[in-house]
Structure 1
């Protein structure tokens, strides 16, 4: 029994000497700490945060011929001279000789209207003129005979062979025929004017171009009715087509009335069509219309092109940059520098640029902006010219941050 008791005593586990074990949540916490340490070590091995890639542009000093923009505005190309060509009379179109995009000269035939009725009216007027002329011939013959009869009657009366009453009758007959002759001549004049009117009515059936230009819209087709006035029906046209004088193209811009003091007639400007944003067209302010639009608080400004081009079309959208008048400032030295617009982060009337130092770190600098456009801005303060400026994602730019130049 003693041996068995000793053996059992050796197999007994001593719970008092066991070390306390951590709970499950403590084991998970320890594992997370290990993972964070491994991530930090991996970031250190990879070399830290990757610097952003940028491109650089150079700020250049404004030259003697540089002219900064004082105001930017949007507008449309309009034709100062255009017309909806129509006939003077109501009738059916029998021939159309115009097409969109075709250039026509002044007086060129564009369409013809049915002229059957006009031809008939002209023939009637010509017949009336012929009848009036025949009537004149008849009266002339009768008057000649009456004058001879008056002469014989007067001779016989002087010889006391005829009475005074016979002489008076012959005189009255001659005077009456002479009055009929005057009436016949007037009737001929009226008939001639009637023929002229009918000839013009016949000419009105031919539609001609009032001036040289390009057809932009074709409205009518052969067989349709056309009228110079609206007839109220869907089948009646009021015009053959639209003619535009391309030499009269200009720009109409609505300028906010708060900035209209920056625009004067004769001021230089530069226009960029929305269809050709890289093409700068030299322009000049023609006039500032002396009235404001109450609903939009704008003033209309007319801007003329200094050069014509077939690419400029009516109703195109355009952006105009009004320049400083260099004639007024030719004796003043140039001020400020010119900077590409994509290198400036605008903030109200000023802006922020980031200079690229020699060690490829950024330097944040506030600048004072002048005028400009979508491509280039004038900087009046903060830069002297020649600085390298960073272009890229401004959200990643901070003062002193390391950058990498794009190849």
Structure 2
């Protein structure tokens, strides 16, 4: 029979296989080699196409965003409460009391009252201290008036002293008259000096009496809250 222009002779004894029939002809080998090259060439093309398709797919793919739903807590659900016991201590604490002993005439706060610095809290009877204050002021004023009168007398005495000196120098008046005029002037100067000392003493008494009057007024030393009220009107504290 004829195949690709070549002849195959069948042997007489057909029971034995003809190994020659298994030989690949040159034309068939050439055609098979071409098919293998076509197959090998197709593989890179397919791989490249798959890579390009994957790149386009990744570029067009949108990012995945995870969304979570927040559930509103049930208002009627169980509530957790924390109970603790303790006490609060103030940063500053002071017991307010009068500097002097006296009868309470006014209380202007209650427990729990919020007060400011300098706010009036209570008053004591200051009648005695005010009388002492008024007496000291009266003494000062009267002494100052006396000083003014003595200064007038001193000016007149100094005039008389200068006249006595002139009369003595002219021989009209004796030395005794001059000495008397000088003594009068010196006495007035001494009285004025003593009166000024008395004025200073009166000023001191005024200061003491005024301080006693001020001590009858109790004020808050700093802002805070009153935690205890330990005095009432009429009590001696």
Q: 1 CA distance for matches of 2:181 and 2:126? A: 52
- Per the TM alignment, residue 180 of structure 1 is displaced from its structure 2 partner at its CA by 1.3
Point out 4+ residue stretches in structure 1 off by more than 3 angstroms. Answer: 75-80
- Per the TM alignment, residue 99 of structure 1 is displaced from its structure 2 partner at its CA by 1.1
Gaps of 5+ in 2: 1-85
1:210 aligns with 2:221: yes
- Per the TM alignment, residue 148 of structure 1 is displaced from its structure 2 partner at its CA by 1.3
Q: 1 CA distance for matches of 2:197 and 2:92? A: 44
Higher RCO (CA < 8 A, seq sep 6+): 2
Gaps of 5+ in 1: 1-74, 227-407
TM-score (norm 2): 0.60
Q: Which has the larger radius of gyration?
A: 2
Partner of 1:123: 134
Deviations 1:328-376 (A, max 9, x none): xxxxxxxxxxxxxxxxxxxxxxxxxxxxxxxxxxxxxxxxxxxxxxxxx
TM-score (norm 1): 0.36
- Which is richer in strand? 1
- Which is richer in helix? 2
1:150 aligns with 2:161: yes
Deviations 1:123-171 (A, max 9, x none): 2112211221122123112212211110110110110112223222211
Partner of 2:123: 112
Which residue of 184, 191, 194 maps to 2:202?
Answer: 191
Partner of 2:212: 201
- Per the TM alignment, residue 76 of structure 1 is displaced from its structure 2 partner at its CA by 6.5
Deviations 1:240-281 (A, max 9, x none): xxxxxxxxxxxxxxxxxxxxxxxxxxxxxxxxxxxxxxxxxx
Deviations 1:175-233 (A, max 9, x none): 1211211111221122122222212211111111111111111100111111xxxxxxx
Deviations 1:24-60 (A, max 9, x none): xxxxxxxxxxxxxxxxxxxxxxxxxxxxxxxxxxxxx
1:332-351 matches, cutoff 5 A: none
Partner of 2:105: 94
What's the C-alpha RMSD, in Å, of the aligned pairs? 1.7
- Give the length in aligned residue pairs: 152
